[in-house]
Amino acid sequence: MSEYDRYYRISKYLRSHCLFDHPIRVRRVKMPDDYCGDCELIKGKYLIRINKMLSEEAAIDTLLHEMGHAKAWEKEDEFHGTIWGKEYSKIYRAYEKKFLK
């Protein structure tokens, strides 16, 4: 298994099994050391950026967190409120069901 293979499998699975209102792209990119990732809606597509310096486990945690933002923004424009928490937990459960058996 190559480096970040599990991360890429999880990303692909969640993008195809958690339905989003907009297409979603996930990229590992260079970011400041104290920055884990972010999510933006650009030209009708979600772009999730993950700091490429993170360990694979930290990158997976950040991916789940940022996907929670994308789902929450489809319902309401909030940051870390109740809707984000509910959507994050749904994404985490999908991840857990498939990858943490």
- pLDDT above 80 (res 1): no
The tens digit of pLDDT for each residue in 20-64 reads: 989 999 999 999 999 999 999 999 999 999 999 999 999 999 999
State how far the Cα of 70 lies from the Cα of 77, in Å rounded to an integer.
10
What is the domain count for the chain?
Answer: 1
The tens digit of pLDDT for each residue in 60-96 reads: 999 999 999 999 988 876 778 889 999 999 999 999 9
Contact at 8 Å (CB) between 73 and 53? no
Beta partners for residue 28, in sequence order: 50
CATH number for 53: 3.30.2010.10
Instruction: Compute the chain's Rg from CA coordinates.
Output: 13
State how far the Cα of 17 lies from the Cα of 22, in Å rounded to an integer.
13
Q: What's the pLDDT score for residue 65?
A: 97
Domain range for 24: 5-99
**Does pTM top 0.85 for this prediction?**
yes
Name the token pair of 70.
């994308």
